Amino acid sequence: MSSKPALYQFPKLFKRLASQQNKYVQHFIKLREGKQYRLQQNTVLVQGMKTIRELRDEGQQIKSLVVTAEREPYTESAIKFPALQVIQNPDAFLSEYYYLVDVDLTRRILGTASRPGRHEVFAEIPIPDHTLPSKDQVDRFLVCDHVNDPGNLGTLIRTGKALGWDSGVLTTGTCDFYNDKTIRASRALNLRWKYNVLPISQLVEFLKSYDMTPLVADMMPQTMNTSDLWSPLTGYYDQVKNQPTIGTGPWLWNFKDKEPMLPKRPALILSSEHKGVQGLDDEIRISMPMANNVESMNVASVGGILMNELNRLIK
């Protein structure tokens, strides 16, 4: 009789987790599902080889590295990239612990919304220090106020990092900064974004301490005879020659008695399109003209446009 082929032997460095009741599996599930548990453990789950590699290259510590692979493959060829890369070269991804799970456990740990592959890699990463840099190290802030959708928050942080808005403020009404959806949408760039958390009532004074001028993203005024509606490109609104139409760039208003100008050190304040910023009635407003049949824009889209426009206009 022919003998049964021998099973592939995983490196002994990797410990197989076979059940949802395993304490390590439970730990990973709690990290994804529980805000308080994440804060207690001071770690988060990060999915994807590219993102993990970027964090590694920036010197980020990896606490646990988890590879998805079937339980009893006969040959190494049954294991595909990126799982195989980690199994073959664990020294390239230094971690305190290495684990193996099958795809069913991966889906339970990461959630079906993460759409994990059959050869997925994910990691438990310590939350790094997020303390804001000193006043002389920053010249602009991104402020997220009551941004309740983690996908929007993650997209804003990713866009902000890409455009040089590397730090800012989260008001206490904003959603969980380390929610798994926020991490996915930001590609884990939220782990590298510096911030402070404040109630909205303390925001203006805090921005003053950094010599930042608040700019509140808002809907364009309904009446176009607003006396201080002003464009950094063309000046004051004029009913005949100079109107806030699509393509004319950002418009500002609510200057009160101040001279209209773009601040050199802006703090762009963005809020949920459903709620708007509350309690900052005296601050300068900024908006982008839109088509008449569009009521509002997604907050992440608005944020990306305004950050880019301010980068272009502020010298």
Query: Are residues 83 and 70 in contact, defined by beta-carbon separation less than 8 angstroms?
Result: no
Report pLDDT digits (tens) over 284-302.
Answer: 999 999 988 887 889 999 9
Element holding 169 (H helix, E strand): strand 167-171
What domains can be seen in the chain, in order of their start residue? 15-126 (3.30.1330.30), 135-313 (3.40.1280.10)
What pLDDT is recorded for position 279? 72
Q: Once rounded to an integer, what is the mean pLDDT over residues 102-127?
A: 96
**Cα separation, 185 vs 230, whole angstroms:** 34
Please give the mean pLDDT across all residues of the chain.
93
- Evaluate if residue 265 carries a pLDDT over 50: yes
- Please work out, in degrees rounded to the nearest 5, the angle formed at the alpha carbon of residue 308 by the alpha carbons of 305 and 312: 135
Selected residue with higher pLDDT from 127 and 275? 127
Enumerate the β-bridge partners of residue 253: 285
What pLDDT is recorded for position 128? 95
92 Cβ contact partners less than 8 Å away, ≥ 6 residues apart: 85, 86
- Evaluate if residue 172 carries a pLDDT over 80: yes
What pLDDT is recorded for position 1? 47
- Evaluate if residue 54 carries a pLDDT over 60: yes
The 8-class DSSP code of residue 77 comes to G
Percent of the chain with pLDDT over 90: 83
Residue with tokens 């453990």: 41
- Evaluate if residue 106 carries a pLDDT over 80: yes
Q: Once rounded to an integer, what is the mean pLDDT over residues 19-48?
A: 97
Report pLDDT digits (tens) over 230-256.
Answer: 999 999 988 778 889 999 999 999 998
- Evaluate if residue 274 carries a pLDDT over 70: no
Query: Are residues 64 and 123 in contact, defined by beta-carbon separation less than 8 angstroms?
Result: yes
Instruction: Supply the pTM of this predicted model.
Output: 0.92
Report pLDDT digits (tens) over 59-105.
Answer: 999 999 999 999 999 899 999 999 999 999 999 999 999 999 999 99
Report pLDDT digits (tens) over 178-218.
Answer: 999 999 999 999 999 999 999 999 999 999 999 999 999 99
Residue with tokens 């109107």: 243
Element holding 226 (H helix, E strand): none
Following DSSP, what letter does each residue of 287-307 receive, concatenated? Answer: E----TT-----HHHHHHHHH
Task: Give the start-end residues of each E strand in the chain.
Answer: 15-16, 43-47, 64-68, 97-101, 121-126, 141-145, 167-171, 194-198, 213-217, 230-231, 235-236, 251-253, 266-271, 284-287
Q: Once rounded to an integer, what is the mean pLDDT over residues 133-156?
A: 96
**Cα separation, 172 vs 1, whole angstroms:** 70
